[in-house]
Amino acid sequence: MTHTLKDGGQVLNVGMLARVEGEGGMHIEIKDRKVVDVQLNIFEPPRFYEGFLRGRHYTEPPDITARICGICPVAYQSASTEAMEVICGVQTTDAIQTMRRLLYCGEWIESHALHIFMLHAPDFLGYDSVLEMAETHGDVVQMALRLKKCGNDLMDTVGGRAIHPVNVRVGGFYRMPALADLMALRPELERGLEDALAAVQLVSTFDFPDMEQDYTYVSLRHPDYYPLERGAEVVASSGVRFPVAEMPLHVEEFHVAHSNALHARFDGEPFFVGPLARYTLNFDQLSPRCQEAALSAGLTETCRNPFKSIIVRTVELAYAFEEALRIIDGWTDGHAPSVPTWPRAGEGVGASEAPRGTIWHRYRVNEAGIIEDAQIVPPTSQNQSSIEMDLRTAAEQWVDLDDHALTHRCEAAIRNYDPCISCATHFLDLRVKRS
Protein backbone atom coordinates (compact mmCIF):
# COMPACT_ATOMS: atom_id res chain seq x y z
CA MET A 1 0.00 0.00 0.00
CA THR A 2 3.01 2.21 -0.50
CA HIS A 3 3.55 4.25 -3.56
CA THR A 4 6.27 6.64 -4.48
CA LEU A 5 5.45 10.17 -5.46
CA LYS A 6 6.91 12.02 -8.44
CA ASP A 7 9.12 14.03 -6.14
CA GLY A 8 10.55 10.88 -4.59
CA GLY A 9 8.39 11.08 -1.48
CA GLN A 10 6.33 8.17 -0.36
CA VAL A 11 2.70 7.65 0.43
CA LEU A 12 1.42 4.85 2.59
CA ASN A 13 -2.23 4.27 2.12
CA VAL A 14 -4.55 2.31 4.35
CA GLY A 15 -8.03 2.32 2.89
CA MET A 16 -9.74 2.70 6.21
CA LEU A 17 -8.61 2.61 9.80
CA ALA A 18 -10.21 -0.40 11.38
CA ARG A 19 -11.61 -1.09 14.81
CA VAL A 20 -12.77 2.42 15.48
CA GLU A 21 -16.29 3.67 15.45
CA GLY A 22 -17.01 5.59 12.29
CA GLU A 23 -14.95 6.45 9.23
CA GLY A 24 -11.84 8.51 8.70
CA GLY A 25 -8.31 8.63 7.38
CA MET A 26 -4.91 10.02 8.26
CA HIS A 27 -2.22 11.71 6.29
CA ILE A 28 1.41 11.84 7.34
CA GLU A 29 4.02 13.55 5.22
CA ILE A 30 7.71 12.82 5.85
CA LYS A 31 10.55 14.74 4.16
CA ASP A 32 14.19 13.91 4.89
CA ARG A 33 13.15 11.76 7.85
CA LYS A 34 11.28 14.73 9.31
CA VAL A 35 7.55 14.74 9.77
CA VAL A 36 6.29 17.83 7.99
CA ASP A 37 2.55 17.35 8.11
CA VAL A 38 0.05 15.27 10.05
CA GLN A 39 -3.69 15.32 9.49
CA LEU A 40 -6.47 13.28 10.95
CA ASN A 41 -9.18 13.31 8.30
CA ILE A 42 -12.61 12.57 9.55
CA PHE A 43 -14.74 11.97 6.49
CA GLU A 44 -17.73 10.48 8.24
CA PRO A 45 -20.58 12.45 6.68
CA PRO A 46 -22.03 15.18 8.88
CA ARG A 47 -25.50 14.50 10.19
CA PHE A 48 -26.36 18.04 11.34
CA TYR A 49 -27.80 17.25 14.73
CA GLU A 50 -27.27 20.78 15.95
CA GLY A 51 -29.18 22.03 12.93
CA PHE A 52 -32.29 19.94 13.26
CA LEU A 53 -32.48 20.13 17.05
CA ARG A 54 -33.59 23.71 16.52
CA GLY A 55 -37.36 23.73 16.61
CA ARG A 56 -37.64 20.50 18.59
CA HIS A 57 -39.13 20.30 22.08
CA TYR A 58 -36.89 20.41 25.14
CA THR A 59 -37.99 16.89 26.10
CA GLU A 60 -36.65 15.37 22.86
CA PRO A 61 -32.83 15.55 23.05
CA PRO A 62 -32.36 12.42 25.19
CA ASP A 63 -33.96 10.26 22.47
CA ILE A 64 -32.61 12.22 19.52
CA THR A 65 -29.00 12.83 20.59
CA ALA A 66 -28.65 9.19 21.72
CA ARG A 67 -28.66 8.43 17.97
CA ILE A 68 -25.40 10.29 17.51
CA CYS A 69 -23.65 7.18 18.78
CA GLY A 70 -24.75 3.58 19.26
CA ILE A 71 -21.74 2.88 21.48
CA CYS A 72 -22.23 5.64 24.01
CA PRO A 73 -25.88 6.74 23.84
CA VAL A 74 -26.09 7.17 27.62
CA ALA A 75 -23.40 9.85 27.51
CA TYR A 76 -25.65 11.88 25.21
CA GLN A 77 -28.73 11.15 27.25
CA SER A 78 -27.05 12.19 30.51
CA ALA A 79 -25.49 15.40 29.22
CA SER A 80 -28.69 16.50 27.49
CA THR A 81 -30.99 15.74 30.41
CA GLU A 82 -28.68 17.62 32.74
CA ALA A 83 -28.56 20.66 30.47
CA MET A 84 -32.36 20.71 30.23
CA GLU A 85 -32.77 20.33 33.97
CA VAL A 86 -30.48 23.32 34.45
CA ILE A 87 -32.66 25.30 32.06
CA CYS A 88 -35.90 24.19 33.74
CA GLY A 89 -34.45 24.99 37.13
CA VAL A 90 -35.29 21.60 38.61
CA GLN A 91 -33.27 19.49 40.98
CA THR A 92 -33.53 15.77 40.53
CA THR A 93 -33.44 13.50 43.56
CA ASP A 94 -30.45 11.55 44.84
CA ALA A 95 -32.23 8.34 43.79
CA ILE A 96 -32.54 9.59 40.21
CA GLN A 97 -28.88 10.62 40.08
CA THR A 98 -27.87 7.25 41.52
CA MET A 99 -29.91 5.40 38.90
CA ARG A 100 -28.33 7.53 36.15
CA ARG A 101 -24.95 6.53 37.50
CA LEU A 102 -25.94 2.86 37.45
CA LEU A 103 -27.11 3.11 33.85
CA TYR A 104 -23.85 4.87 32.98
CA CYS A 105 -21.88 2.05 34.69
CA GLY A 106 -23.59 -0.26 32.19
CA GLU A 107 -22.36 1.89 29.31
CA TRP A 108 -18.80 2.09 30.68
CA ILE A 109 -18.72 -1.69 31.08
CA GLU A 110 -20.10 -2.37 27.61
CA SER A 111 -17.99 0.25 25.83
CA HIS A 112 -14.74 -0.30 27.75
CA ALA A 113 -15.00 -4.11 27.38
CA LEU A 114 -15.61 -3.68 23.65
CA HIS A 115 -12.64 -1.37 23.22
CA ILE A 116 -10.16 -3.11 25.54
CA PHE A 117 -10.60 -6.62 24.21
CA MET A 118 -12.20 -6.40 20.81
CA LEU A 119 -10.71 -3.24 19.35
CA HIS A 120 -7.46 -2.50 21.20
CA ALA A 121 -5.96 -5.77 22.57
CA PRO A 122 -5.49 -7.24 19.07
CA ASP A 123 -2.91 -4.45 18.44
CA PHE A 124 -0.78 -5.61 21.35
CA LEU A 125 -1.20 -9.30 20.65
CA GLY A 126 -0.55 -8.96 16.92
CA TYR A 127 -3.94 -9.88 15.57
CA ASP A 128 -6.23 -8.22 13.10
CA SER A 129 -9.35 -8.88 15.12
CA VAL A 130 -10.81 -10.42 18.21
CA LEU A 131 -12.09 -13.28 16.09
CA GLU A 132 -8.52 -14.26 15.21
CA MET A 133 -7.55 -13.76 18.82
CA ALA A 134 -10.23 -16.24 19.77
CA GLU A 135 -8.23 -19.05 18.16
CA THR A 136 -5.33 -18.72 20.60
CA HIS A 137 -6.82 -16.71 23.44
CA GLY A 138 -10.20 -18.38 23.61
CA ASP A 139 -10.63 -17.98 27.35
CA VAL A 140 -9.80 -14.26 27.22
CA VAL A 141 -12.31 -13.72 24.44
CA GLN A 142 -14.97 -15.68 26.30
CA MET A 143 -14.31 -13.54 29.36
CA ALA A 144 -14.48 -10.37 27.29
CA LEU A 145 -17.83 -11.34 25.84
CA ARG A 146 -19.12 -12.11 29.33
CA LEU A 147 -17.93 -8.75 30.64
CA LYS A 148 -19.47 -6.89 27.75
CA LYS A 149 -22.72 -8.73 28.21
CA CYS A 150 -22.85 -7.64 31.86
CA GLY A 151 -22.80 -4.05 30.66
CA ASN A 152 -25.53 -4.68 28.12
CA ASP A 153 -27.67 -6.51 30.67
CA LEU A 154 -27.34 -3.61 33.06
CA MET A 155 -28.34 -1.15 30.34
CA ASP A 156 -31.26 -3.39 29.35
CA THR A 157 -32.51 -3.57 32.91
CA VAL A 158 -32.16 0.10 33.79
CA GLY A 159 -32.57 1.67 30.35
CA GLY A 160 -34.93 -0.78 28.66
CA ARG A 161 -32.45 -1.37 25.81
CA ALA A 162 -28.66 -1.55 25.54
CA ILE A 163 -28.49 0.60 22.39
CA HIS A 164 -30.51 3.79 22.59
CA PRO A 165 -32.16 3.18 25.96
CA VAL A 166 -35.84 4.15 26.01
CA ASN A 167 -36.22 4.74 29.75
CA VAL A 168 -34.41 8.10 30.02
CA ARG A 169 -36.25 11.42 30.18
CA VAL A 170 -35.62 14.99 31.19
CA GLY A 171 -36.32 14.89 34.92
CA GLY A 172 -35.30 11.27 35.43
CA PHE A 173 -36.75 7.99 34.17
CA TYR A 174 -40.08 6.67 32.97
CA ARG A 175 -39.92 3.76 35.38
CA MET A 176 -37.50 2.81 38.13
CA PRO A 177 -36.12 -0.70 37.74
CA ALA A 178 -37.21 -3.11 40.46
CA LEU A 179 -34.68 -4.10 43.09
CA ALA A 180 -35.39 -7.77 42.35
CA ASP A 181 -34.38 -7.27 38.69
CA LEU A 182 -31.20 -5.50 39.76
CA MET A 183 -30.40 -8.18 42.32
CA ALA A 184 -30.71 -10.79 39.58
CA LEU A 185 -27.69 -9.16 37.89
CA ARG A 186 -25.57 -9.33 41.04
CA PRO A 187 -23.87 -12.73 40.61
CA GLU A 188 -22.64 -11.89 37.11
CA LEU A 189 -21.52 -8.42 38.21
CA GLU A 190 -19.51 -9.94 41.06
CA ARG A 191 -17.87 -12.34 38.68
CA GLY A 192 -17.30 -9.44 36.30
CA LEU A 193 -15.52 -7.43 38.99
CA GLU A 194 -13.15 -10.32 39.70
CA ASP A 195 -12.54 -10.84 35.97
CA ALA A 196 -11.95 -7.13 35.39
CA LEU A 197 -9.43 -6.94 38.24
CA ALA A 198 -7.62 -9.95 36.77
CA ALA A 199 -7.77 -8.29 33.35
CA VAL A 200 -5.95 -5.22 34.74
CA GLN A 201 -2.97 -7.49 35.48
CA LEU A 202 -3.31 -9.23 32.12
CA VAL A 203 -3.22 -6.07 30.01
CA SER A 204 -0.36 -4.68 32.10
CA THR A 205 1.85 -7.49 30.68
CA PHE A 206 1.49 -6.14 27.14
CA ASP A 207 4.54 -4.60 25.53
CA PHE A 208 4.15 -0.81 25.70
CA PRO A 209 6.14 1.48 23.46
CA ASP A 210 7.95 4.28 25.30
CA MET A 211 6.10 7.44 24.59
CA GLU A 212 5.25 10.12 27.11
CA GLN A 213 3.28 13.14 26.07
CA ASP A 214 2.88 16.47 27.78
CA TYR A 215 -0.88 16.79 27.48
CA THR A 216 -3.18 19.32 29.04
CA TYR A 217 -5.63 17.00 30.72
CA VAL A 218 -9.25 18.06 31.24
CA SER A 219 -11.89 16.16 33.17
CA LEU A 220 -14.95 16.54 35.27
CA ARG A 221 -14.44 16.31 39.00
CA HIS A 222 -16.85 15.59 41.82
CA PRO A 223 -16.03 15.88 45.52
CA ASP A 224 -17.62 12.55 46.37
CA TYR A 225 -17.04 10.33 43.36
CA TYR A 226 -14.86 9.41 40.44
CA PRO A 227 -16.54 11.46 37.66
CA LEU A 228 -19.02 9.56 35.57
CA GLU A 229 -22.63 10.64 34.99
CA ARG A 230 -21.76 14.17 36.08
CA GLY A 231 -19.25 16.27 37.89
CA ALA A 232 -19.46 19.32 40.09
CA GLU A 233 -16.79 21.18 38.16
CA VAL A 234 -14.29 20.94 35.34
CA VAL A 235 -10.60 20.65 36.27
CA ALA A 236 -7.50 20.82 34.09
CA SER A 237 -3.90 19.76 34.65
CA SER A 238 -2.97 23.42 34.12
CA GLY A 239 -4.58 24.08 37.50
CA VAL A 240 -7.64 25.82 36.07
CA ARG A 241 -10.99 24.82 37.57
CA PHE A 242 -14.47 26.17 36.96
CA PRO A 243 -18.14 25.19 37.07
CA VAL A 244 -19.54 23.08 34.21
CA ALA A 245 -21.64 26.04 33.07
CA GLU A 246 -18.45 27.86 32.04
CA MET A 247 -17.29 25.16 29.64
CA PRO A 248 -18.20 27.29 26.58
CA LEU A 249 -15.95 30.08 27.88
CA HIS A 250 -12.89 27.79 27.92
CA VAL A 251 -13.44 25.50 24.97
CA GLU A 252 -13.41 27.02 21.52
CA GLU A 253 -14.40 24.93 18.52
CA PHE A 254 -13.02 25.61 15.06
CA HIS A 255 -13.30 24.10 11.62
CA VAL A 256 -10.32 22.85 9.62
CA ALA A 257 -10.48 21.86 5.96
CA HIS A 258 -9.32 18.25 6.43
CA SER A 259 -11.98 17.11 8.87
CA ASN A 260 -15.75 16.90 9.01
CA ALA A 261 -15.46 17.11 12.79
CA LEU A 262 -14.78 20.39 14.52
CA HIS A 263 -11.45 20.78 16.31
CA ALA A 264 -11.27 22.42 19.72
CA ARG A 265 -8.89 24.34 21.96
CA PHE A 266 -8.97 24.67 25.71
CA ASP A 267 -7.90 28.13 26.80
CA GLY A 268 -6.29 28.41 23.40
CA GLU A 269 -4.30 25.15 23.59
CA PRO A 270 -4.79 21.56 22.41
CA PHE A 271 -6.09 19.35 25.21
CA PHE A 272 -6.94 15.78 26.09
CA VAL A 273 -10.12 14.30 27.50
CA GLY A 274 -10.70 10.63 28.26
CA PRO A 275 -9.56 7.85 30.56
CA LEU A 276 -5.94 9.11 30.98
CA ALA A 277 -7.19 12.58 31.91
CA ARG A 278 -9.89 11.30 34.24
CA TYR A 279 -7.48 8.93 35.94
CA THR A 280 -4.69 11.44 36.37
CA LEU A 281 -6.98 14.16 37.68
CA ASN A 282 -9.11 11.90 39.90
CA PHE A 283 -6.87 9.08 41.09
CA ASP A 284 -7.75 9.95 44.69
CA GLN A 285 -11.42 9.29 43.96
CA LEU A 286 -10.93 5.72 42.75
CA SER A 287 -11.87 3.00 45.20
CA PRO A 288 -9.00 1.58 47.28
CA ARG A 289 -9.31 -1.69 45.38
CA CYS A 290 -9.00 -0.03 42.00
CA GLN A 291 -6.12 2.20 43.17
CA GLU A 292 -4.33 -0.90 44.37
CA ALA A 293 -5.03 -2.75 41.11
CA ALA A 294 -3.65 0.22 39.14
CA LEU A 295 -0.48 0.52 41.21
CA SER A 296 0.19 -3.21 41.18
CA ALA A 297 -0.19 -3.12 37.39
CA GLY A 298 2.75 -0.71 37.29
CA LEU A 299 0.85 2.54 36.83
CA THR A 300 1.59 5.57 38.94
CA GLU A 301 -0.95 8.16 39.98
CA THR A 302 -0.43 9.99 36.72
CA CYS A 303 -0.22 8.35 33.35
CA ARG A 304 1.18 10.12 30.27
CA ASN A 305 1.84 7.16 27.98
CA PRO A 306 -1.13 7.03 25.62
CA PHE A 307 -0.51 3.34 24.85
CA LYS A 308 -1.12 2.57 28.50
CA SER A 309 -4.64 3.88 28.18
CA ILE A 310 -5.66 0.22 27.86
CA ILE A 311 -4.58 -0.39 31.46
CA VAL A 312 -6.35 2.73 32.68
CA ARG A 313 -9.49 1.73 30.79
CA THR A 314 -9.39 -1.69 32.45
CA VAL A 315 -9.04 -0.07 35.88
CA GLU A 316 -12.10 2.00 35.03
CA LEU A 317 -13.87 -1.16 33.89
CA ALA A 318 -13.28 -2.72 37.30
CA TYR A 319 -14.39 0.51 38.95
CA ALA A 320 -17.66 0.49 37.01
CA PHE A 321 -18.37 -3.06 38.21
CA GLU A 322 -17.63 -2.04 41.79
CA GLU A 323 -19.84 1.02 41.52
CA ALA A 324 -22.68 -1.00 40.01
CA LEU A 325 -22.53 -3.47 42.88
CA ARG A 326 -22.33 -0.68 45.46
CA ILE A 327 -25.36 1.05 43.97
CA ILE A 328 -27.44 -2.12 43.74
CA ASP A 329 -26.59 -3.03 47.33
CA GLY A 330 -27.79 0.34 48.54
CA TRP A 331 -30.94 0.41 46.42
CA THR A 332 -34.50 0.15 47.70
CA ASP A 333 -37.76 0.08 45.79
CA GLY A 334 -40.25 2.91 45.97
CA HIS A 335 -38.37 5.93 44.62
CA ALA A 336 -40.20 8.29 42.29
CA PRO A 337 -38.81 7.76 38.78
CA SER A 338 -38.78 11.43 37.83
CA VAL A 339 -39.39 14.96 38.99
CA PRO A 340 -41.87 17.05 37.00
CA THR A 341 -40.40 19.62 34.64
CA TRP A 342 -41.87 22.63 32.86
CA PRO A 343 -40.23 24.57 30.11
CA ARG A 344 -38.63 27.87 30.96
CA ALA A 345 -36.73 30.19 28.71
CA GLY A 346 -33.02 29.98 29.26
CA GLU A 347 -29.67 28.52 28.45
CA GLY A 348 -27.89 25.59 30.11
CA VAL A 349 -24.88 23.34 29.90
CA GLY A 350 -24.78 19.65 30.86
CA ALA A 351 -21.67 17.48 30.95
CA SER A 352 -20.82 13.87 31.67
CA GLU A 353 -17.86 11.50 31.26
CA ALA A 354 -18.42 9.36 28.17
CA PRO A 355 -16.15 6.32 28.05
CA ARG A 356 -14.00 8.35 25.61
CA GLY A 357 -13.99 11.54 27.69
CA THR A 358 -15.89 14.63 28.70
CA ILE A 359 -18.91 15.40 26.60
CA TRP A 360 -20.95 18.53 26.97
CA HIS A 361 -24.10 19.98 25.51
CA ARG A 362 -25.39 23.55 25.58
CA TYR A 363 -28.96 24.43 24.69
CA ARG A 364 -31.02 27.60 24.52
CA VAL A 365 -34.75 27.06 24.91
CA ASN A 366 -37.66 29.52 24.66
CA GLU A 367 -40.57 29.84 27.06
CA ALA A 368 -42.65 27.38 25.02
CA GLY A 369 -39.95 24.75 25.47
CA ILE A 370 -38.72 24.93 21.89
CA ILE A 371 -34.98 24.63 21.32
CA GLU A 372 -33.52 27.71 19.67
CA ASP A 373 -29.87 26.76 19.67
CA ALA A 374 -27.90 23.59 20.38
CA GLN A 375 -24.20 22.85 20.70
CA ILE A 376 -22.92 19.30 21.22
CA VAL A 377 -19.24 18.80 21.91
CA PRO A 378 -18.19 15.14 21.93
CA PRO A 379 -14.83 13.84 23.18
CA THR A 380 -13.32 12.76 19.86
CA SER A 381 -13.76 16.25 18.48
CA GLN A 382 -11.95 17.76 21.43
CA ASN A 383 -9.18 15.17 21.17
CA GLN A 384 -8.38 15.62 17.48
CA SER A 385 -5.44 17.93 18.13
CA SER A 386 -4.00 15.51 20.72
CA ILE A 387 -4.43 12.63 18.29
CA GLU A 388 -2.53 14.58 15.65
CA MET A 389 0.14 15.41 18.24
CA ASP A 390 0.52 11.69 19.06
CA LEU A 391 0.68 10.79 15.39
CA ARG A 392 3.44 13.30 14.87
CA THR A 393 5.41 11.97 17.86
CA ALA A 394 4.85 8.37 16.79
CA ALA A 395 5.90 9.05 13.20
CA GLU A 396 9.04 10.90 14.38
CA GLN A 397 9.92 8.26 16.94
CA TRP A 398 9.45 5.31 14.55
CA VAL A 399 10.44 6.97 11.29
CA ASP A 400 12.98 4.20 10.57
CA LEU A 401 10.42 1.41 10.74
CA ASP A 402 9.28 0.05 7.41
CA ASP A 403 6.04 1.43 6.05
CA HIS A 404 3.99 -1.54 7.16
CA ALA A 405 5.21 -1.41 10.74
CA LEU A 406 4.96 2.38 10.91
CA THR A 407 1.44 2.28 9.61
CA HIS A 408 0.48 -0.21 12.24
CA ARG A 409 2.04 1.86 15.03
CA CYS A 410 0.23 4.97 13.87
CA GLU A 411 -3.08 3.15 13.66
CA ALA A 412 -2.55 1.85 17.16
CA ALA A 413 -1.75 5.38 18.34
CA ILE A 414 -5.14 6.46 17.07
CA ARG A 415 -6.91 3.50 18.61
CA ASN A 416 -5.43 4.51 21.98
CA TYR A 417 -8.13 7.14 21.96
CA ASP A 418 -10.97 4.74 21.26
CA PRO A 419 -12.02 7.50 18.87
CA CYS A 420 -15.65 7.65 18.09
CA ILE A 421 -15.84 9.25 14.72
CA SER A 422 -19.57 8.80 14.44
CA CYS A 423 -19.73 11.04 17.48
CA ALA A 424 -17.20 13.53 16.25
CA THR A 425 -19.19 14.33 13.16
CA HIS A 426 -21.98 13.89 14.64
CA PHE A 427 -12.40 7.75 10.57
CA LEU A 428 -9.40 6.61 8.83
CA ASP A 429 -7.45 6.37 5.63
CA LEU A 430 -3.77 6.42 6.41
CA ARG A 431 -1.32 8.08 4.11
CA VAL A 432 2.32 8.52 4.98
CA LYS A 433 4.11 10.61 2.47
CA ARG A 434 7.91 10.36 2.56
CA SER A 435 10.44 12.32 0.56
Q: Binding residues for ligand SF4, per CB under 6 A?
A: 67, 70, 163, 166
Q: How far apart are CA 292 and CA 423, in angstroms?
A: 33
Residue 366 binds another protein, judged by CB under 8 A? no
Closest approach, Cβ 65 to ligand SF4, in A, equals: 11
Residue 23 CB, nearest distance to another protein (Å)? 6
- Considering only residues 141, 251, 359, 371, which one is a binding residue for another protein as defined by CB under 8 A? 141
Contacting residue, 175, 186, 241, 404, with another protein by CB under 8 A: 175
**Residue 58: CB atoms within 10 Å:** 23
Among 90, 93, 98, 160, binds another protein (CB under 8 A): 160
Cβ proximity to ligand SF4, 167 vs 216, nearer residue: 167
SS3 of 177, please? coil
From residue 184, give the alpha-carbon distance in Å to each of 157, 165, 176, 190, 193. Answer: 10, 20, 15, 11, 16
Q: Hey, which residues between 252 and 311 contact another protein (CB under 8 A)?
A: 254-257, 260, 262
DSSP state letters, 82-106 = HHHHHHHT----HHHHHHHHHHHHH
- Ranked by CB distance to ligand SF4, the top (closest) residue is 67
Build a one-symbol-per-residue string for 2-31: x at contacts with another protein by CB under 8 A, - elsewhere: -------------xxxxxxxxx--------
Residue 255 touches which member of another protein, ligand SF4, none, C-beta under 5-8 Å by kind: another protein
Nearest to 250 by CA among 201, 223, 216: 216
Looking at 25, 73, 227, 419, which residue binds another protein (CB under 8 A)? 73
Q: Which is nearer to ligand SF4, 166 or 178 (CB)?
A: 166
Q: Does 335 bind another protein (CB under 8 A)?
A: no
Cβ proximity to ligand SF4, 163 vs 256, nearer residue: 163
Closer by beta carbon to ligand SF4, 59 or else 201:
59
Q: What is the DSSP letter of 272?
A: B
Closest CA to 338 of 160, 175, 172: 172
Q: Does 125 bind another protein (CB under 8 A)?
A: no
- Is 255:279 a contact under the CB 8 Å cutoff? no
- What gap in Å lies between CA 13 and CA 11, rounded to an integer? 6
Residue 113, judged by CB atoms within 10 A of its CB (0-12, 13-18, 19+), counts as: buried
- Which string of x and - marks every residue 395-434 that binds another protein (by CB under 8 A)? ----------------x----------x---x--------
Please check whether residue 61 is in contact with residue 361, taking contact to mean a CB–CB distance below 8 angstroms: yes
DSSP secondary structure letters along 359-422? EEEEEEE-TTSBEEEEEEE-HHHHHHHHHHHHHHHHHHHTTTS-HHHHHHHHHHHHHTT--BHH
Instruction: State how far the alpha carbon of 413 is from the alpha carbons of 123, 129, 210, 309, 398, in Å.
Output: 10, 16, 12, 10, 12
280 binds, among another protein, ligand SF4, none (CB under 5 to 8 A by kind): none
How many whole angstroms separate alpha carbon 418 and alpha carbon 162? 19
Q: In what order do the strands lie in the sheet with 241-243?
A: 218-221, 233-236, 241-243
Cβ at position 255, least distance to ligand SF4 in Å: 24
Q: How far is the CB of 226 from another protein (least distance, A)?
A: 25
361 binds, among another protein, ligand SF4, none (CB under 5 to 8 A by kind): none
Task: Find which of ligand SF4, another protein, none residue 233 binds, CB within 5 to 8 Å per kind.
Answer: none
Dihedral of the alpha carbons of 202, 206, 212, 215, in degrees to the nearest 10: -50
Q: Where along the sequence are the contacts to another protein (CB under 8 A)?
A: 15-23, 44-52, 54, 56-57, 60, 63-64, 67-71, 73, 110, 114, 118-119, 122, 128-132, 134, 141, 145-146, 148-149, 152, 160-164, 166-167, 169, 174-175, 254-257, 260, 262, 411, 422, 426
